[in-house]
Amino acid sequence: MRLGSLPEAWVAPPGLRELRELVRYRGKLVQIRSGLKAQVHAVMAKEGVLPERVDMFGPGGQAQLDEMQLGDCYRLRIDSLRDLIRAFDEEVGGLEDPVPGSQAAVLVGRVDAEAPRVGHHCAPGVDHQAGVEAVRWAAIEATCGRKDPKRHADFVRIAQRRGTAKARVAIARKLLTLVYYGLRDGEIRCLAQAS
């Protein structure tokens, strides 16, 4: 310790720890909901039904789910899964207010935002790959929340050319660029150009 060779650890303040807890919980709910949606697709595959839509849980996909001719046990399972998905939608939606709507809040809740700026190191035993995965997840998740006009316009423009998945990644990259400069410079830049 006298030689200064022990790595320093950074403990987040209570407010940030609470935000992280909410973000992790929201992420877990989204993960469970995704699993439920995958089960719906699996039941459809068992019955030989191909999805007509990319998003089976949007309005058009819901209509297909309503009209599908399935055996009784499969219909029961699909209906039960759809009820659970709606319940998880409500729970995830209920966390939009406690977890602030800005994209940076989701990232800050998932990453040690102060650590890189003040030059601290991660504690021993920290899985750095898990940290990279967490940042990637948080950036993509942040693109799904409330939309500001500039980000939404960019998303629509890219989605029309390349698809929604690539558009989400592109917007997430823009977001991470802003977070990088915010941590480096100590201020957050605007997404929109100054008038």
Q: Which two tokens stand for residue 19?
A: 């935000």
What value does the mean pLDDT of the chain take? Answer: 76
pLDDT at residue 165 is higher than 90: no
What pLDDT does residue 11 have?
Answer: 74
What digits encode the pLDDT tens for the residues 104-131? 555 655 554 434 444 444 444 444 555 6
Distance between CA atoms of 77 and 64, rounded to whole angstroms?
16
Higher pLDDT, 151 or 160: 160
Mean pLDDT of 4-11: 72
Distance between CA atoms of 148 and 159, rounded to whole angstroms?
16
- The answer to whether the Cα torsion of 127, 128, 129, 135 is positive or negative is positive
What pLDDT does residue 139 have?
Answer: 77
pLDDT at residue 141 is higher than 90: no
Higher pLDDT, 186 or 115: 186
What digits encode the pLDDT tens for the residues 69-117? 889 999 999 999 999 999 999 998 888 766 654 455 556 555 544 344 4
Most confident of 7-11, 102-106, 175-179, 186-190: 175-179
Distance between CA atoms of 93 and 33, rounded to whole angstroms?
12
Mapped onto helix, strand or coil, the DSSP state of residue 39 is helix
What pLDDT does residue 122 have?
Answer: 45
Q: Which two tokens stand for residue 157?
A: 């423009």
Name which of 113, 83, 81, 124 is nearest 180 in CA terms: 113
What pLDDT does residue 4 have?
Answer: 75
Distance between CA atoms of 80 and 66, rounded to whole angstroms?
13
